[in-house]
Structure 1
Amino acid sequence: MLLLGLLGTVAVPPAPRITERNYQRYFDRYDLQGSFLLLDAATGQYTAYNLPRCRQGFLPASTFKIPNTLIGLETGAIRDTTDLCRWDGVKRSFPQWNQDMTMARALRVSCVPCYQQLARRVGAARYQQQLPKLKFGRMQVTPATVDTFWLAGPSRITQFEQIDFLQRFQRNKLPVARRSADITKALLVLGRGPGWTLRGKTGWTMQAGHDNGWFVGWVEQAGKAYFFALNAEPQNGGPAAANFIQGRRAVTEQILRQEFGLLPAAAHQ
């Protein structure tokens, strides 16, 4: 009886408060299908479009550049984001990648080869030590996949997990040095104005003709933080045209602006 009494006092975390909304009209403007999730950190209230899909895991793609930058700084694989990534001379389909660049620019133009160089310097063993501490989804890395595990294979993260990670990051609750966090946060700034700042990162995986895209981040406005995660694909499994490339961020910003009043009209710069 005593045991039952003690068990009865164990606190059960409350279920998250989630309001569902239909935002398909925003996706339709860009011929996209997908899901959107927002957390008002002050109230703990989530707003979700396509809730089952928000709970579905996807490869993180270049959203992994956020924890990857932190890990690079924490392990000393990079000293700071002025470190230079040397172009290997291989011409790729994204012209902005075909040049030497700093790691800061590599994040901003989402240069996969630069972050693959970083991954090889970090190494699988140190990822296996660092990733469980950061709790960024369910990443699986081996020596054979050390420079691809966020782009292909079994690694997965949901939109809820993206927001959980971003919230801990924004609040300086990750087990990393404040310097590493501040450097990385500065690289994520996409726009700012009187009383507001937008931080975010896109992602894109291309596997066997199937394209999947992300836009994750947060808005700080009037001392409050609002975290978002969008995952989207071309409608009907079509190819990733300009609508897909632009739409990930555009859809998100339109929802933030028109549904929540979180961005001014000229926020997308």
Structure 2
Amino acid sequence: MLLRLCLLLLTLLTLPATAPPEPGLTERNFQPLFDKYGLRGSLLLYDAKAGKYVAYNPKRCRQGFIPASTFKIPNTLIGLETGALRDTAEICKWDGVKRSFPQWNEDMTYARALRVSCVPCYQQLARRVGVARYQQQLRRLGYPGMQVTAATLDTFWLGGPSRLTSFEQIAFLRRLQAEKLPVALRHQRAVKQLLVLRQTPAYTFCGKSGWRFRSATNRDIGWFVGWLARPDGRTIFFALNAETQPDHVADERFQTGRRAIVEQALAELGWMQ
């Protein structure tokens, strides 16, 4: 009996401790907002002044997903910093291939390419940057989880094993917003300006969407990431990740719902008035 008690005590002492709740994180149920648009997913908000997170579905916030077109943010910075992109006014020539998004079927500046999420334009840029410079610059930027090879050079942010969590999205955006990335200041400011979606006396709202398209094995996955800057010095960062319900395809609610959920959550918390 004594031997059994000793073995039990030894087992209990060697078990890993239960992880304590993450400091500065409050859970909030935003499921009604997701239901409104027929989506399911997660939303992570970070109040920089208070140093606190608000999370809906924190487990999913820690799960990695392909960044899709949210990668256009670091991609533009890398293009500018390496000289592969002269400036955001540089024209990307349409390759003549008609695609299902009509706004992609024309010549455009890279400033517009980011705003309309023109995948072919950024694939052209990727081939100019090259594998070695991506690997180097991604390490410098502290942008984790990206796997770039010669075979996936112009698709690695759209499919494959590259993954980024909502916490990692916000960590990167915080450094960009504060202009503390190891990138020329003029490049950081140029990209920040492209992310401005709305400016009012009460706030500046910046963001970028992302969409990993449905395939035979995957549902549509969407992102909306960015920040809300207020004149009182308070900045709220956000990272929404959402997917369609099983057996549903992405429709207008998917396309508009990602941003709408974030805006309604910010308003609900009193941060966007």
Instruction: Tell me, yes or no, whether TM beats 0.5.
Output: yes
Would you say 1:60 and 2:70 are equivalent positions?
Answer: no
Corresponding residue SS for 2:79: helix
RMSD after superposition: 1.2
Counterparts of 2:224 and 2:55 in 1: how far apart (Å)?
A: 15
Counterparts of 1:237 and 1:219 in 2: how far apart (Å)?
A: 34
Counterparts of 1:26 and 1:132 in 2: how far apart (Å)?
A: 36
Determine if contact 1:16/1:44 at 8 Å carries over to the other structure: no
Would you say 1:217 and 2:226 are equivalent positions?
Answer: yes
Deviant stretches of 4+, over 3 Å: none
Determine if contact 1:74/1:177 at 8 Å carries over to the other structure: yes
Counterparts of 1:152 and 1:180 in 2: how far apart (Å)?
A: 27
* Aligned pairs, number: 250
Instruction: Name the amino acid aligned to 2:221.
Output: N
Residues 166-177 of structure 1: matches in 2 within 5 Å?
166-177=173-184
Q: 2:248 aligns with which of 238, 247, 251?
A: 238
1:200 counterpart residue number: 207
Measure how far apart 1:262 and its partner are: 2.1
Measure how far apart 1:189 and its partner are: 0.1
Q: Percent identity?
A: 64
Residues 102-113 of structure 1: matches in 2 within 5 Å?
102-113=109-120
Counterparts of 1:211 and 1:194 in 2: how far apart (Å)?
A: 36
- TM-aligned CA distance change 1:35 to 1:237, over 3 Å: farther
Instruction: Name the amino acid aligned to 2:170.
Output: I
Corresponding residue SS for 2:86: coil
Counterparts of 2:159 and 2:272 in 1: how far apart (Å)?
A: 34
Measure how far apart 1:253 and its partner are: 0.7
1:263 counterpart residue number: 272
1:251 counterpart residue number: 261
- TM-aligned CA distance change 1:143 to 1:16, over 3 Å: farther
Residue by residue over 1:29-57, the C-alpha shift from the partner in whole angstroms, topping out at 9 and shown as x without a partner, is 10000000000001110000001000000
Counterparts of 2:138 and 2:172 in 1: how far apart (Å)?
A: 12
**What TM-score results when the alignment is normalised by the length of structure 2?**
0.89
Determine if contact 1:253/1:263 at 8 Å carries over to the other structure: yes
Measure how far apart 1:195 and its partner are: 3.2
Instruction: Name the amino acid aligned to 1:88.
Output: D
Counterparts of 1:25 and 1:54 in 2: how far apart (Å)?
A: 18
Larger gyration radius, structure 1 or structure 2: 2
Would you say 1:179 and 2:186 are equivalent positions?
Answer: yes
